[in-house]
Amino acid sequence: MPRITTADGTGIFYKDWGSGRPVVFSHGWPLNADAWDEQLRLLAEDGYRAVAHDRRGHGRSDQPWQGNDMDTYADDLAALIEHLDLRDAVLVGHSTGGGEVARYIGRHGTARVRKAVLLGAVPPVMLQSASNPEGTPMEVFDGIRAGVAADRSQFYWDLSESFYGFNRPGAEVSEGTRRAFWLMGMQAGLRGAYECIKQFSETDFTEDLQRIDVPTLIAHGDDDQIVPLQASALKTAQHVPDNILKIYEGGSHGLYGAYRAAFETDLLEFVAD
């Protein structure tokens, strides 16, 4: 399996499909690069070099005890980009991966970056506070921690329902999609998955967003039950100067069905310019 070794000795698995201008994907929690397989294939078949990695602690990457923090996630992404010598790249991040992309730009700049895509992304900050009343209360994240610690298998299975909006009346439920989500979650190490909860919920990406100086597609479903639209994309658009804001009616957090098809159309159009 293709891997790089980071500065602290952690092995990071990655996929590298196709050739052409690079499009680099960062996945959400608690998933891995497989969550992007449909989009990786789509881009590679359309003449791009599609790259995706498993975040440390997740999937086929190493599961270190230390380094499960957003700065290190961003530095791991930088190590991958530099190892493959990717230039003029489009960075695409979903959910926690959107935070990873923002923090990468905040720490490493855009010398190798052409554009960015933030899909259902956690910035600016998820946690509710006096300055962020639209955010999610801490007790929700404490509940996620408790669920992962007590019975992560059942927790991931239950989470898959709202993740894809399958709990909505009349929703077309895909048990296969739920099983795939569960499997990817179970491939994440307990330490890495648990520590990542604090990173996606409490990290403030405001300054990172303000450093994004490339065209950015901000894409979000208006029925996202995991990362609510009002506390995320709508605020992110206020901090990123050159942005296109796309809100998908009925779109959930995870890509599925009509939402996936619409996003893929917009993604191909955006990366082609």
Displacement of CA 87 from its chain's centroid (Å): 21
Element (H, E) at 154: helix 138-163
Active site residue 253: yes
Paired strand residues for 113: 89
Name the active-site residue from 61, 160, 224, 232: 224
CA atoms within 13 Å, Cβ hemisphere of 71 = 3
Active site residue 224: yes
Query: Which residues have a Cβ under 8 Å from the Cβ of 25 and sit 6 or more positions away?
Result: 33, 36, 39, 40, 50, 51, 52, 92, 93, 94, 97
Q: Residue holding tokens 């509710």?
A: 128
Give the Cα separation of 59 and 35 in Å (integer): 11
User: 238-259: b or e for each residue (b if 16 or more CB lie within 10 Å)?
Assistant: ebbeebebbebeebbbbbbbeb
Helix (H, G, I), strand (E, B) or coil at 77: helix
CA proximity to 174, closest of 161, 157, 155: 161
CA proximity to 224, closest of 166, 265, 164, 156: 164
Active site residue 34: no
CA proximity to 10, closest of 62, 58, 54, 52: 62
Paired strand residues for 23: 50, 90
Name the active-site residue from 58, 61, 94, 95: 95
Name the active-site residue from 53, 220, 239, 253: 253
> Which are the catalytic amino acids?
95, 224, 253
